[in-house]
A = this chain, B = another copy of it.
Amino acid sequence: MGGDFAPAREVEGMVQALRAAHNEFEVILVGREEAILEELKKHDMQGLRYSVVNASEVITMDDSPTAALKQKRDSSLGVGMRLHQEGKADAFISAGNTGAVLSASTLILGRVKGVSRPTIGTFFPSEKGVCLLVDAGTNVDCRPQHLYEFGVMGSIYFSKMFKKDRPTVALLNVGEEKTKGNEVVLEARKLFEASTLNFIGNVEGRDILKSTADVVVCDGFVGNIVLKFGESVPTFLRARLKGVAERGLLKKLIVGLAKSTLKAALSDMDPNEHGGVPVLGVNGVSIIGHGSSTSKGIKNMILKAAEVAKTQLNKHIEEALANSPVPPVKPVLQVAR
């Protein structure tokens, strides 16, 4: 119910997902029953496997994540996540408030053993495929060990999604040399070097779109800024092309062609194609999508949830961290003076 167009797109997307997957799974719709039933009337639901669970409250995009979770006890997010935690569902998806989904995932599902900070990665298109940037905005202040954990989780997620053993992992930095970087990254590099990851060293900002590494690790402050910068590029290009089009009719025609060609060339940058991203490091499968997800976006999120649920991602993350030569994060002790 927290998405920008809920529950219309959610119901539409569910119908598409069930058809595409030939009813391989069942979808539980969680939210205001009346509104959901109203949407269901618009579709031919004959033979589709779904059910509805009522939840009277909605966490909005403006709500403070943790406060909303406590105050709105009967929110679709809370109720849905608990269904997953209780084993009544194998995965959870939401196009709602990202911070709230992240908090609910951590608080209700709990962390995978060995993980100190759950994280979210994001896929960038790259010249030869995709690049997973992790953390994409979850943890803004990080210690070196946190970056290392993001690398472990990102590597496992990438390997499962693209059936690639030992994907290449790199640290996002200001230069390739070992001596380059801020204090946290300089320390983190030593941990990656001591690890069993397929670590290829530092990469720079220009390497993200260049297919230099499969997984690029950074803190959530840098990740969020690069992600949002990248997302703004198509709008910027359209604005620039519009400027050219104003110079005459022929230009207008050529710009029209240029725009549609560019759109075709960048079609895989549409977040609705990705089907959202999982919260990595929590005991469950929790997929977060854009608030403005289309029905296709919702469909792809559901299909991704089913795919991730089959990979036993969390078991692999737990094993990798347990067998890691890099020691776990030590808690920072608060010493009373």
Q: Name A's B-contacting residues (CB within 8 A).
A: 125-127, 137, 140-141, 172, 174, 181-183, 185, 204-210, 218-222, 224-233, 235-237, 239-241, 243-244, 251, 254-255, 257-258, 261-262, 264-266
Copy total for this chain: 2
26 A–B contacts from the bound complex (CB under 8 Å) = A127-B240, A174-B221, A174-B225, A182-B221, A185-B221, A204-B224, A205-B225, A205-B226, A205-B227, A205-B228, A205-B230, A206-B229, A208-B232, A209-B229, A209-B236, A222-B225, A225-B226, A226-B229, A229-B229, A237-B237, A237-B262, A241-B262, A244-B265, A255-B261, A258-B258, A258-B262
Given the known interface contacts A140-B174, A232-B206, the answer about A221 and B181 at a Cβ–Cβ threshold of 8 Å is yes
Interface centre among A137, A183, A227, A240 (most CB of B within 10 A): A240
CB of A210 within 8 A of CB of B225, answer no
**How far apart are the CA atoms of A141 and B229 in the complex, in Å?**
22
Given the known interface contacts A229-B209, A229-B226, the answer about A240 and B265 at a Cβ–Cβ threshold of 8 Å is yes
CB of A228 within 8 A of CB of B255, answer no
Please tell me which one of the listed residues B137, B174, B182 contacts residue A174 in the complex, with CB atoms under 8 A apart. B137
Besides A257-B257, A258-B262, 12 other CB < 8 A contacts? A174-B220, A204-B224, A205-B224, A205-B229, A209-B236, A210-B236, A222-B222, A225-B226, A226-B226, A237-B262, A240-B266, A262-B262
**How far apart are the CA atoms of A77 and B208 in the complex, in Å?**
33
